[in-house]
Chain A
Amino acid sequence: MTRLLTAQPALTNAEDVLAEDSKGRRKLLLQIAVVAAIVIVSLWMTGMLDRSRLTSGLPAIGILGTEMFPPDFGRWRDWVGPLVETLAMSIAGTALAVALSLPLGFLAARNTSPNKVIYQVSRVVLNTLRSIPELIMGIIFVAAVGFGMLPGVLALGLHSVGMVGKFFAEAIEHAHPAPIEATEASGATSMQVILHGVLPQVFPQFADVSMYRWEYNFRASTVMGMVGAGGIGTELVGSLRLLDYPQVSAVLLVILACVTVVDILSNMLRAKFR
């Protein structure tokens, strides 16, 4: 296939070419300046440039820090069960997200979507799921199905689809067209093209996103405890309500340790999926 290259006025003089080139550089510098201005205005609006207010806040953080020390691991036996619950919630939620994202991703990718309407609708669905915070989803599902891990899994899973599905669609759009063409040339149906021409190409990216999301969901499921969705988050909120700061710091350290383990595990799995 020959494609017409972008038409360009013939520049015959070296000076003309260089002038055109520096025009491009000046445009780039201007763009950088505009972004920098927006960033500075945002910092100023949010008080990040207010040095006196920032420095006056330091002592309060210091006091809280000393109250959290030393961490109190006395109730560690009571945390094993909730930790297993949190782990189960993050795995179930991520599995739900991946299962829903697979079809949605292909429908929301320009090169595999059956038509423009389905493509746009899928994009809107993904944007909607992404815009509803998981905490709000948690509250809705607690009201719908009652307390426990089930509302947590539903909230984590559905909210994750918004991001996982979008990333899947982007990976599909960046898939190399040449092998896809070869699959089509063999007389494959469009479903076969997706299964045998696209999926093998994008599988490593899919695995990457899923594993990252699993790690994210583990962290997010601790927050879900605040709305009564079970897990280690319930313990965290309980200690906070009692103003038992040494216990709060102990739970936070346990969560940090678990997140580290989940991160190492997901990195190992990702390396396997290359």
Chain B
Amino acid sequence: MDGSMSIMGRDILSVDDVEVVYPNGTRALNKTTCQFMDGEVTVLLGPSGAGKSTLLRTLNLLTQPSAGHIVTSAGQQLKSRRDIRFHRRDTAMIFQQHQLIGRLSTLRNVLMARLGRHSVWSSLAGFSRAEKHLALESLSRVGLFDKALTRCDSLSGGQQQRVGIARALTQEPKLILADEPIASLDPASSDRVMKILRDVCREDRIPVIVSLHQLDFAKAYADRIIGLCDGDIVFDGPPSALDNAALSRIYGAPADTTN
């Protein structure tokens, strides 16, 4: 492994006895406890409906736990609106469907990441020069500097996802969450997106938590894999420990290990 080992092992966020039952009665997550560590790419792996997106979305409380708590590294339980807002400001989210405003330029979409640091009035007045430069830097990092003034809805799916990553970087977060970021991308775009996420983790020392359903991508890019099945964590370890027994716990039937 590389030098980033030295900062691993410090926990950044804990899930404490969290359960999620949706209003329609669906049990998405059974009582779950786990810690996320600094400096790692953690992949939440599992088939559709396993609870990986639910677990990921509880980490910035876009989904409210029905029971249990999300606890910060300072040992604080995230409850009040104010605490949740400050936590979200330091936690960037990348979505499966990009969640961009199609009729705005790429630059304007990326600048939305700065909203958490502005009041209503100052966000209407405009963003600072430094923030705009930061947004452009993020865009060049994902290879989209030349698309800064292009409308987002004229970009391809892979490009839009990279705008989503640039937006996350512009937030200057302490943690990045990515919810199925490559589910609707082709293999080449998927590789590019996963590589950018891993580089951000290594170079900027920002831990990344990604939910994925593709085993091969999980093995290629994860430092740690958390396997989920039917709302339970059924595996937790490095990709090298992911053997056939673990795979059949995650995917139920004997898994295809050829990829």
Q: Which A residues are within 8 Å of any B CB, using their own CB?
A: 5-6, 8, 10-12, 14, 17-18, 20-21, 24-25
Cα of A21 to Cα of B136 in the assembled complex, Å: 12
B150–A18 CB distance below 8 A? no
Cα of A18 to Cα of B108 in the assembled complex, Å: 11
B146–A11 CB distance below 8 A? yes
Cα of A14 to Cα of B131 in the assembled complex, Å: 12
Would A18 and B146 be within 8 Å (CB), given that A5-B154, A6-B154, A25-B126 are in contact? no
B150–A8 CB distance below 8 A? yes
A11–B149 CB distance below 8 A? yes
B126–A17 CB distance below 8 A? no
User: Is B57 an interface residue, CB under 8 A from the partner?
Assistant: no
- Tell me the B95-133 residues at the A interface (CB within 8 Å): 105, 107-108, 126, 129, 132-133
Task: Point out the residues of chain A lying under 8 angstroms from B132, CB to CB.
Answer: 18, 21
Cα of A21 to Cα of B105 in the assembled complex, Å: 9
User: Is B148 an interface residue, CB under 8 A from the partner?
Assistant: yes
Interchain CB contact (< 8 A) of A17 among B108, B129, B136, B151: B136
A6–B150 CB distance below 8 A? yes
8 further contact pairs, Cβ within 8 A, besides A6-B150, A21-B105:
A8-B149, A8-B150, A11-B149, A17-B107, A17-B148, A18-B133, A21-B108, A21-B149
B149–A20 CB distance below 8 A? yes
Least Cβ distance of B143 to chain A in Å?
14
Task: Point out the residues of chain B lying under 8 angstroms from A6, CB to CB.
Answer: 150-151, 154
Least Cβ distance of A87 to chain B in Å?
38
| 14 contacting pairs across A/B (C-beta < 8 A) | A6-B150, A6-B151, A6-B154, A8-B149, A8-B150, A11-B146, A12-B146, A14-B136, A17-B136, A18-B136, A20-B149, A21-B107, A21-B149, A24-B105
Cα of A5 to Cα of B105 in the assembled complex, Å: 14
* A-B CB contacts (within 8 Å), total count: 34
Task: Point out the residues of chain B lying under 8 angstroms from A14, CB to CB.
Answer: 133, 136
Task: Point out the residues of chain A lying under 8 angstroms from B133, CB to CB.
Answer: 14, 18
Least Cβ distance of B163 to chain A in Å?
14
Chain B: interface size category: 10 to 19
- Tell me the B118-169 residues at the A interface (CB within 8 Å): 126, 129, 132-133, 136, 145-146, 148-151, 154
Task: Point out the residues of chain B lying under 8 angstroms from A11, CB to CB.
Answer: 146, 148-149
Chain A residue, CB-CB nearest to B139: A17
Pick the 4 closest A-B CB pairs, nearest first.
A14-B136, A17-B148, A5-B154, A18-B132
Cα of A5 to Cα of B108 in the assembled complex, Å: 19
Task: Point out the residues of chain B lying under 8 angstroms from A25, CB to CB.
Answer: 126
Task: Point out the residues of chain A lying under 8 angstroms from B148, CB to CB.
Answer: 11, 17, 21
Least Cβ distance of B132 to chain A in Å?
5
Least Cβ distance of B202 to chain A in Å?
25
Least Cβ distance of A33 to chain B in Å?
16
Would A18 and B126 be within 8 Å (CB), given that A6-B154, A10-B146 are in contact? no
Cα of A126 to Cα of B153 in the assembled complex, Å: 32
Least Cβ distance of B136 to chain A in Å?
5
Task: Point out the residues of chain B lying under 8 angstroms from A18, CB to CB.
Answer: 129, 132-133, 136
Least Cβ distance of A1 to chain B in Å?
13
Task: Point out the residues of chain A lying under 8 angstroms from B150, CB to CB.
Answer: 5-6, 8
Least Cβ distance of B149 to chain A in Å?
6
A17–B149 CB distance below 8 A? yes
Cα of A103 to Cα of B194 in the assembled complex, Å: 51
Task: Point out the residues of chain A lying under 8 angstroms from B146, CB to CB.
Answer: 8, 10-12
Task: Point out the residues of chain B lying under 8 angstroms from A8, CB to CB.
Answer: 146, 149-150
Chain B residue, CB-CB nearest to A14: B136
Cα of A5 to Cα of B153 in the assembled complex, Å: 10
Chain B residue, CB-CB nearest to A3: B154
Cα of A24 to Cα of B154 in the assembled complex, Å: 18
Chain B residue, CB-CB nearest to A2: B156
Least Cβ distance of A180 to chain B in Å?
19
Task: Point out the residues of chain A lying under 8 angstroms from B107, CB to CB.
Answer: 17, 21
Of the candidates A6, A17, A24, the one having the most CB atoms from chain B within 10 angstroms of its own CB is: A17
Least Cβ distance of A14 to chain B in Å?
5
Task: Point out the residues of chain A lying under 8 angstroms from B154, CB to CB.
Answer: 5-6
Of the candidates A12, A14, A24, the one having the most CB atoms from chain B within 10 angstroms of its own CB is: A14
Chain B residue, CB-CB nearest to A5: B154
Cα of A6 to Cα of B105 in the assembled complex, Å: 13
Least Cβ distance of A166 to chain B in Å?
23
Cα of A36 to Cα of B133 in the assembled complex, Å: 32
Task: Point out the residues of chain A lying under 8 angstroms from B145, CB to CB.
Answer: 17
Least Cβ distance of B189 to chain A in Å?
16
Task: Point out the residues of chain A lying under 8 angstroms from B151, CB to CB.
Answer: 6
Cα of A24 to Cα of B150 in the assembled complex, Å: 12
Least Cβ distance of B62 to chain A in Å?
24
Least Cβ distance of A16 to chain B in Å?
10
Cα of A5 to Cα of B154 in the assembled complex, Å: 7
Task: Point out the residues of chain A lying under 8 angstroms from B149, CB to CB.
Answer: 8, 11, 17, 20-21, 24
